[in-house]
Structure 1
Amino acid sequence: MSASLTQKLTLEKFLQFPHVEESPAWEYVDGVALQKPMPKARHSILQKRLLAEIDSHSQAYTALPELRCTFGGRSVVPDVAVVAWNRIQVNEAGEPEDNFLEPPDWSIEILSPDQSANRVIDNLLHCIKYGCQLGWMIDPDDRSVLVFAPRQEPSVCRGASPLPTLSEMTLEVTADSVFFMVTDQ
């Protein structure tokens, strides 16, 4: 079960809390700080394999684990944030800025048993509203992927259903192949 700080906070105050970068990640939604559940083995393996698959199929994008994305009055931490390299701000030394203040191009969440599906969906809808091109909510228990895209109804993909990816990617994936990543060695 995830923890929360129920007192109303401002986003600025939330980002100053010393515990905000602890693991598991804390998110800020509607004035409340919420801690995501601690990932378990299946979740972590799926996350690791998704990162590798996405990175191996694109030069224009990078897949990042647990990247804090602060925008539109929220601070969310997708399990996998896919961001175009040219959108990552760099400092004077040419190093990436620590704070990412935009939605990712593609937000992927892996639903944990102790996690509220509605909270995850709410975060994905928020990402889409503010410019994210694609959102996936992966449900390992149901072996399905709920897909979000701008100006489209959400769709559920199972089995051999092809999943959308970003247009500049060569990645071709189905719902089955996502779950094969957990058992493939």
Structure 2
Amino acid sequence: MNFYRIMGLMGKGSLMLHERLYTPTEFLEFVQQPENAGRWFELVQGEIVEVPPPTILHTLIGTAFARFLGNFVTTHHLGYVTADGGAYMLGPGMIYVPDAAYISYERAPHVPEKYFLAAPDLAVEIVSPNDKPHEVQKKVANYLEAGTRLVWVVYPEEKAVYVWRKADEGQMLVKKVDLNGILEGDDVLPGFQLAVRDVFPE
């Protein structure tokens, strides 16, 4: 059985360490406690990190991605699409909750009770103003190392999406798609196209 430390951001950016060991199951029990209602957590390399709640703009963008992805995936009977709240286990000490994600039936034959036991095929992460660039890149790297094939990192202020994937040689590749560009599902969702403009509210 694997155990992990829990760290949470409490109050106004202060850091509190919970001196005990938790399993992934205990992590879910922790975040479901009444006093944690309305708060957002992820398990990152054995630590529980509290993340800021999404803004209205953040929520609208995430919902748009989930809607467009969901329509395509449902029509073609490919798998499941989650909005924020859908949790994925990337490894023994890592549970991420992307803003939107797609996971194929091949990776998830059944709907889990608590969280998917694999990384999503495609993850959408919306960057908040307080997110540090190196933390965003590390998160992308964790997705790709865990088997996610496509990561869309959305920058609301820039109105652009950075598309990350892993090359055959193992290095991380990225390209920017601006407001007038088109996102494509590539080999993850063949035939899927989405105008970047359509995910940003007017």
TM-score range, shorter chain: 0.7 to 0.9
Q: 1:104 aligns with which of 102, 110, 120?
A: 120
SS at match of 1:45: helix
Partner letter of residue 175 of structure 2? S
Q: C-alpha deviations, 1:120-173, integer Å up to 9, x for none?
A: 332221111121110011010111111111114212221323323253343312
Q: C-alpha deviations, 1:53-78, integer Å up to 9, x for none?
A: 11111221322022211122311111
Gaps of 5+ in 2: 1-7, 10-14
Q: C-alpha deviations, 1:16-65, integer Å up to 9, x for none?
A: 14332444331122332111211111111111111111111122132202
How far apart in 2 are the matches of 1:108 and 1:170? 18
CA 1:5/1:105 → structure 2, altered by over 3 Å: closer, same or farther?
farther
Residue 160 (1) aligns with residue 175 (2): no
C-alpha contact (below 8 Å) 1:8/1:31 kept by paired residues: no
How far apart in 2 are the matches of 1:166 and 1:6? 42
Measured after TM superposition, the shift of residue 83 of structure 1 is 0.8
Higher relative contact order (CA 8 A, sep 6+): 1
SS at match of 2:152: strand
Q: TM-score if structure 2 supplies the norm length?
A: 0.74
Identity level (%): 20
Alignment correspondent of 1:42: 57
Alignment correspondent of 2:88: 69
Residue 29 (1) aligns with residue 44 (2): yes
Alignment correspondent of 1:116: 132
Partner letter of residue 126 of structure 1? N
Measured after TM superposition, the shift of residue 9 of structure 1 is 6.6
How far apart in 2 are the matches of 1:125 and 1:28? 15
How far apart in 2 are the matches of 1:23 and 1:178? 25
Residue 57 (1) aligns with residue 72 (2): yes
Q: Root-mean-square deviation (CA), in Å?
A: 2.5
Residue 79 (1) aligns with residue 90 (2): no
Q: TM-score if structure 1 supplies the norm length?
A: 0.80
Q: Which has the higher strand share?
A: 2
Gaps of 5+ in 1: none
C-alpha contact (below 8 Å) 2:86/2:115 kept by paired residues: no
